[in-house]
Amino acid sequence: MVTEVFTLKYCDPHAVREEKVEASEVIQFAWEGTVREVDACTECFEEHQARFEPLVDYSRPVKKRRKKAAAQTSTAQSDSEQTNAEQPATADA
């Protein structure tokens, strides 16, 4: 026989005040050199986002976007081809 277990996560900032509010978001913060997570309701999450900067992960290098660079080089090539085609050919006599 299989029984389903439903666990509710409660907002940790409200739990400190002994209130039970269901958590739907996760707040990340740095503490003693490690990233920690706290369950939070939407109200506490929005308050945290307004008060603090979001954490930036410096562990991975930033990927360069290829679409813009490829689009710029292709337009530059097509522009140079058009200017070459518009110039009349001169015959050396």
Supply the DSSP string of 55-71, one letter for each residue.
Answer: P---SSPPPPPHHHHHH
For the chain, give the mean pLDDT: 75
The 10s digit of each residue's pLDDT in 55-85 is 666 666 666 667 665 556 666 665 555 555 5
Is residue 31 helix, strand or coil? strand
Quote the CA–CA distance of 15 and 88 in Å, as a whole number: 80
> What pTM does this model have?
0.48
Distances (CA, A) of 68 to 62, 63, 65, 77: 16, 13, 7, 14
Q: Which residue has the higher pLDDT, 13 or 75?
A: 13
Quote the CA–CA distance of 7 and 39 in Å, as a whole number: 13
